[in-house]
Amino acid sequence: MTKLTLGSHPFLLGFDQLERLVERTVKSGNEGYPPYNIEQTSENSYRISLAVAGFDEKDLSITVENKQLVVRGRQSEESDGRVYLHRGIAGRQFQKSFVLAEGVEVGHAKTENGLLHIDLTRAVPDVVVQTIEINQK
């Protein structure tokens, strides 16, 4: 039996990139740290909020690589003589990736109350109607 993939279906011409995007999303894993929310703030804008308590702004980096938003966190090891009896606030490094759809742009980011907020906007494409002439020989 032949496996029918999304990109090989005859009615879905040119969607092979979508199939690769889905595969990349599945392979990126679903690690739970740090926890995050994604909310729709308006019809064409979104906000990703990551819980980054204990991270300073200089410990965080946000990049867009190949239509993928990548947030990385790495705390600098401070040896200031602290002795922890219990350390429940996670301080390990992380990398969280979000695949962006076509036309989604990353706006600005800010930290507030232990949360990193990243605002996204989606451009509304213009509706284009194209008429194709039929040539006769």
**Domain annotation for the chain: domains and CATH numbers:** 1-30 (no CATH), 32-77+90-124 (2.60.40.790)
118 touches 71 (CB < 8 A): yes
Is 134's pLDDT higher than 60? Answer: yes
Is 136's pLDDT higher than 60? Answer: yes
- For the segment 12-23, the average pLDDT, to the nearest whole number, is 68
Task: Using pLDDT thresholds of 50, 70 and 90, give the confidence band for residue 54.
Answer: confident
Tens-digit pLDDT profile for residues 96-123: 999 898 889 999 999 999 999 999 999 8
User: What span, in angstroms and rounded, lies between the C-alpha atoms of 73 and 95?
Assistant: 7
